[in-house]
A and B are shown apart, each in its own frame.
Chain A
Amino acid sequence: MMRATKFAIAGSLILALGVTLSAIVVGCGGSNYGHMSESSTVHAPAGEGGVTADADGRVGGEAGEVRFDPSVAIAEEAFRQAAEEDDYESSFQTRREPGIDFRTKYLERKRDVEINAQDERSKLSQGQVNFANSVTPDSGLIGTVSVDANGNVVNAPVRPRASRPAFPASRDSIKVIARLDPDEELWVISKSSDVDAERERRVGAEDAVPGAGALMCIRPSIETPVAAPLKHTEVSASMSGYISAVNVQQQYENPFDVKIEAVYVFPLPQNAAVSEFVMTVGDRKIRGVVRERKEAERIYEAAKSQGHHASLLTQERANIFTQKVANIEPKKSIDIDITYFNTLAYARGGYEFVFPMVVGPRFNPAGSADPVIASPRGGHPAPAGSTQVQYLRPAERTGHDIGLTLNIDAGVEIEHIHSPSHAIETETIDSTRAVVKLSRLDSIPNKDFVLRYRVAGERVKTALMTHRDERGGFFTLLAYPPAELESLERAPMEMIFVLDCSGSMNGAPIKKAKTAISRAMKKLRPDDTFQIIRFSNNASQLGPSPVLATAQNVERGLSYLDGLSGSGGTMMIEGIRAALDFPHDERRLRFVCFMTDGYIGNEAQILGAVHEKLGESRIFSFGVGSSPNRFLMNRMAKLGMGAVAYVGLNDNAGEVMDLFFDRISHPALSNLYVDWGSMEVTDVYPRRTPDLFVDRPIMLTGRFNGNEPTTIRLRGRAGGEFRDVLIEVDPRECEGRHKGIPNVWARTKIADLADEATYAMSVDPAEAARIPMAIEQTALQFGLVSAYTAFVAVDSLSQTEGAYGVSVQQPVHVPEGVKYSTTVGR
């Protein structure tokens, strides 16, 4: 009945004999940012039985029972390792209640285990386990729980801790319900209560806090509350086909005794077409208008200085925005609603919706023109022309939380809904529709929300979506590669792995990246060649040139990889140069894999270098971590004629790499030309049609006039031959599919122009000078935020008393898995 699983981590060995198909680790007194101590050992019981905690907070102590070092990070690492090596998936789950926060982390088996967090203790049913009786105020524990073959709960004995309670005595209990399959167990493990509270309180302290497990309880006595103006963010999204319409409501409230201006730097998807902006003051809703950016800033400053309620939304990067709200009086609130459309990633019947929640701390090389500066909370104001993000220190918390509701209307049967990043609650409306909510137990905005849902069939029901109005017709088209590509073998390749070894990658992200590279190296063929390049403050590499992927060389590469760690700055330009300045071996296809979180502020310089040096290379960017810079990752892949993938902290890095190899193991359909038939198409974006890789459809958007059924023909070269993809379409049938299509088109055009701007200066300065105006005109015409346009809203009838007060920047968490000490606190 019991199975054995080995969790091996660097410097330690965790043996979980006979158990651990699912695990919840419970603790108390830890911080939000898991760090890894250097060694630990966990021994699971050889058979069933309880888990106890001794006076030192260690669980076990009896022969044959669990013993482990109380380190949050160790448990996390063990889980991740398990997820990678033992075909588990791990997830996070956060619980938050007044005065106490919990965070659970658990593994779930990939097949069909679903773990829910609910509140009602009564919701026990077959295959579900309620821990209400397992974790009590004075037990601290803890126990293993399983269900037997009949679905009956087998609750292991709970032994009280000898030391002080793990949880405040005022709490009733922790209630966690998890659904298990027969023969599976769920572990609930205590963490040490021997946390040095002063250490946690210490301002700017290293954020490594001992403690075990993944359910962390942050007691008010050891947490430093930070007053901040943003109280709550509520996100509601509707997905129809591969387009989503998203409303983000930011609820500001002034907790201070003086009037303030709230400033919040926040992320949105890099392809978000932000088209609506409404400020709510009391019962009054004032719709903002799009203006040229400088003009909007001038209007806002004038209104602010005169005491009017006013708000301004500007774009700092395609995925970074700044919200300013002026003249919020003490204890008063103002809401801001932002609406955008964007397209969803789609592959093999699966959609992916991503909502980023925090901007990662960026590194800015000396001389960066418009840096994104990472500062400690309360730090000095950033210089003019820069964007500043202020970060909470490890033990600090604001009251800002987030809610998220997604309405999915797939149009076809939904087969599976899953979030690798957060705990969710799913309500099925019918076979094609569902409502997904972020669990309120997981409401800390410190990582990207990722939702994946699979629908029936390998392809979307309607590849062409159109919309017509007085401006004419707009369309989006999802184009698939021809099926025969999968039967073609690839040529030998030259694989260049470029690993970001900067401080922000330290810990879990770099381990994830190394696991992915390791997996890829083992999949190389002996006639392939490879190279490993690392970069932080500078770049270095495995050897002077790529080597054949022989067993011996792969072993040497793995050894080199194993020795890499994260520290220092992110001089990505060094990595780009090192990777693309190699002499190209013309007998091989060159693939360059960038493994990075993308936490840099000089994106334009990097993208310019990619374009300049690309040559025959193809760039595949892998965004690593809980909140990577998706703008940079996507644009690198686009300019590099490759593709993008993401390796979240709860993703299986091996699987991600397997999918990548599936793609590149067959030739791509390249040099694409599109014959639009009788659609009378113009203004198609992206202007340079990307290559079509196996399992990766591309999205094209354009304008059209035609109204008759026709055949769209994509022609490209693969395997030395021309190949066609034929798509039968009837624009009349597709009409009115989505009102957001014109905005998607405009946003895609702006992105294309912005890409052009990154490299046009060196090619054609006159043309480059024209681009900002072209972006501005498109954005103004369609009412979108861009680098050159902004939303402003003023309530001309409100006039608050006195000066406009002080500006208060909303501090944010560093992303989950990222260390404050090696980034902001560097």
Chain B
Amino acid sequence: MKFLLILLVSILAAGPGAGDTQERDEARATFAFAGEPRFEAVDIFVDAGDASLGAYQVELKGIERKEARVGTAFVKIVGLEGGDHPAFGDAPYYDPEALQGGRVIVAAFSTAADLPAGRTRVARVHVMLEGAGEPAYELKIEAAADRGGKPIRAQASTERVTKEQSEGTDQ
């Protein structure tokens, strides 16, 4: 369990990594996009295989580097929501400093008796898109642990969510 706590604390307290300053400068630059901004959500899934998922940390990034902007949506994260399983149902925490660099580091841990195994949606990230192109996301799983805080192998993936899909699954 100590691992879980350290994991969460480290997420919330994460300092800027190499290149963050440059990324932030890029992300903070003002761009004039044609048309209205759009909003969509990105679901984050973690597949822990047979193990029970007790904690995770992922980093999500919209592709927003200068060279990729032509024909690409500029992504801004505007909200974080929990996942499907009750153990990860609360809105997860994020690292505020990383957010200013155009990425979000999301993490959560659960002490619930019932933990999910296999592939489960752990979070939903709401984003605002600007620009004409389709967005692209990069997701990296940075840590996963079981109920006891023991690191486990897990894979993470994203799925874009439309309003229609959401209505189909959430209602």
A interface vs B, CB < 8 Å?
278-279, 284-290, 292, 295, 299, 302-303, 305-306, 308, 469-471, 742, 780-783, 792-799
Minimum CB–CB distance from B77 to chain A (whole Å) comes to 6
User: Which of A286, A305, A780 is close to B96, meaning CB atoms less than 8 Å apart?
Assistant: A780
Q: How far is the CA of A289 from the CA of B103 in the complex (A)?
A: 12
User: Which of B15, B36, B39, B104 is close to A794, meaning CB atoms less than 8 Å apart?
Assistant: B39
Instruction: Determine whether B10 belongs to the interface, using a CB cutoff of 8 Å to chain A.
Output: yes
- CB of A796 within 8 A of CB of B96, answer no
Given A469-B13, A470-B13, A470-B15, 17 other A-B residues pairs in contact with their CB atoms under 8 A: A279-B79, A284-B81, A284-B170, A285-B82, A287-B80, A287-B91, A288-B79, A289-B94, A302-B39, A303-B78, A306-B36, A782-B96, A783-B96, A794-B39, A795-B79, A796-B39, A796-B128
- CB of B13 within 8 A of CB of A796, answer no
- CB contacts (< 8 Å) of A799 on chain B: these are 163
Instruction: Determine whether B14 belongs to the interface, using a CB cutoff of 8 Å to chain A.
Output: yes
7 contacts between A and B (CB under 8 A): A278-B91, A288-B79, A303-B128, A470-B14, A796-B39, A796-B78, A797-B41
B interface vs A, CB < 8 Å?
9-10, 12-15, 28, 36-37, 39-41, 76-82, 90-94, 96-97, 99-100, 104, 126-128, 161, 163, 166-167, 170
Minimum CB–CB distance from A744 to chain B (whole Å) comes to 15
Minimum CB–CB distance from B103 to chain A (whole Å) comes to 12
- CB contacts (< 8 Å) of B161 on chain A: these are 797
Q: Taking CB as reference atom, which chain B residue is nearest A311?
A: B79
- CB of B14 within 8 A of CB of A794, answer no
Assuming the A-B contacts A794-B39, A797-B41, are A285 and B78 also in contact, with contact meaning beta carbons closer than 8 angstroms in the complex? Answer: no
Q: Taking CB as reference atom, which chain B residue is nearest A308?
A: B39
Q: How far is the CA of A288 from the CA of B9 in the complex (A)?
A: 19
Q: Taking CB as reference atom, which chain B residue is nearest A300?
A: B78
- CB contacts (< 8 Å) of B94 on chain A: these are 287, 289
Minimum CB–CB distance from A619 to chain B (whole Å) comes to 36
- CB of A299 within 8 A of CB of B99, answer no
User: Which of B9, B14, B77, B163 is close to A289, meaning CB atoms less than 8 Å apart?
Assistant: B77
Assuming the A-B contacts A278-B91, A286-B91, A287-B81, are A794 and B28 also in contact, with contact meaning beta carbons closer than 8 angstroms in the complex? Answer: no
Assuming the A-B contacts A285-B91, A288-B79, are A795 and B97 also in contact, with contact meaning beta carbons closer than 8 angstroms in the complex? Answer: no
Minimum CB–CB distance from A468 to chain B (whole Å) comes to 9
- CB of B90 within 8 A of CB of A302, answer no
- CB contacts (< 8 Å) of A305 on chain B: these are 36
- CB contacts (< 8 Å) of A470 on chain B: these are 9-10, 13-15
- CB contacts (< 8 Å) of B82 on chain A: these are 285
Minimum CB–CB distance from A304 to chain B (whole Å) comes to 11
Minimum CB–CB distance from B98 to chain A (whole Å) comes to 10
- Identify which of A299, A302, A471, A796 gathers the most chain B CB atoms within 10 Å of its CB: A796
Q: Taking CB as reference atom, which chain A residue is nearest B125?
A: A796
Assuming the A-B contacts A286-B81, A780-B97, are A796 and B91 also in contact, with contact meaning beta carbons closer than 8 angstroms in the complex? Answer: no
Q: Taking CB as reference atom, which chain A residue is nearest B40?
A: A796
Minimum CB–CB distance from B24 to chain A (whole Å) comes to 9
- CB contacts (< 8 Å) of A285 on chain B: these are 81-82, 90-91
Please name the 9 residue pairs, one residue from A and one from B, whose CB atoms are nearest each other, closest first: A783-B96, A287-B91, A796-B39, A469-B13, A797-B166, A794-B78, A796-B126, A287-B80, A286-B79
- CB contacts (< 8 Å) of A797 on chain B: these are 41, 126, 161, 163, 166-167, 170
Assuming the A-B contacts A303-B39, A306-B36, A795-B79, are A286 and B13 also in contact, with contact meaning beta carbons closer than 8 angstroms in the complex? Answer: no
Q: How far is the CA of A116 from the CA of B81 in the complex (A)?
A: 43
Assuming the A-B contacts A302-B37, A306-B39, are A794 and B10 also in contact, with contact meaning beta carbons closer than 8 angstroms in the complex? Answer: no
- CB of B76 within 8 A of CB of A299, answer yes
- CB of B78 within 8 A of CB of A792, answer yes
- CB contacts (< 8 Å) of B81 on chain A: these are 284-287
Q: How far is the CA of A303 from the CA of B163 in the complex (A)?
A: 14
- CB contacts (< 8 Å) of B76 on chain A: these are 295, 299
- CB of B9 within 8 A of CB of A469, answer yes
- CB of B78 within 8 A of CB of A469, answer no
Minimum CB–CB distance from A329 to chain B (whole Å) comes to 16
Q: How far is the CA of A818 from the CA of B28 in the complex (A)?
A: 45
- CB contacts (< 8 Å) of A308 on chain B: these are 39
- CB contacts (< 8 Å) of A793 on chain B: these are 78-79, 126
- Identify which of B10, B28, B90, B97 gathers the most chain A CB atoms within 10 Å of its CB: B97
Minimum CB–CB distance from A308 to chain B (whole Å) comes to 6
Q: How far is the CA of A668 from the CA of B100 in the complex (A)?
A: 44
- CB of A292 within 8 A of CB of B78, answer no
Q: How far is the CA of A554 from the CA of B13 in the complex (A)?
A: 59
Q: How far is the CA of A426 from the CA of B90 in the complex (A)?
A: 31
- CB contacts (< 8 Å) of A299 on chain B: these are 37, 76, 78, 128
- CB of A469 within 8 A of CB of B10, answer yes
- CB of A286 within 8 A of CB of B80, answer yes
Minimum CB–CB distance from B64 to chain A (whole Å) comes to 14
- CB of B13 within 8 A of CB of A794, answer no
- CB of A794 within 8 A of CB of B126, answer yes
- CB of B126 within 8 A of CB of A795, answer yes
Q: How far is the CA of A702 from the CA of B63 in the complex (A)?
A: 37
Minimum CB–CB distance from A772 to chain B (whole Å) comes to 14
- CB of A471 within 8 A of CB of B15, answer yes
- CB contacts (< 8 Å) of B93 on chain A: these are 287
User: Which of B99, B167, B170 is close to A290, meaning CB atoms less than 8 Å apart?
Assistant: B99
Q: How far is the CA of A361 from the CA of B99 in the complex (A)?
A: 37
Minimum CB–CB distance from B15 to chain A (whole Å) comes to 6
- CB of A287 within 8 A of CB of B96, answer no
- CB contacts (< 8 Å) of B92 on chain A: these are 287
User: Which of B36, B41, B80, B96 is close to A302, meaning CB atoms less than 8 Å apart?
Assistant: B36
Q: How far is the CA of A793 from the CA of B91 in the complex (A)?
A: 12
Q: Taking CB as reference atom, which chain B residue is nearest A280?
A: B91
Minimum CB–CB distance from A503 to chain B (whole Å) comes to 43
Q: Taking CB as reference atom, which chain B residue is nearest A471?
A: B13
- CB contacts (< 8 Å) of B9 on chain A: these are 469-470
- CB contacts (< 8 Å) of A781 on chain B: these are 96-97, 100
Minimum CB–CB distance from B102 to chain A (whole Å) comes to 12
- CB contacts (< 8 Å) of B10 on chain A: these are 469-470
- CB of A796 within 8 A of CB of B37, answer no
- CB of B15 within 8 A of CB of A287, answer no
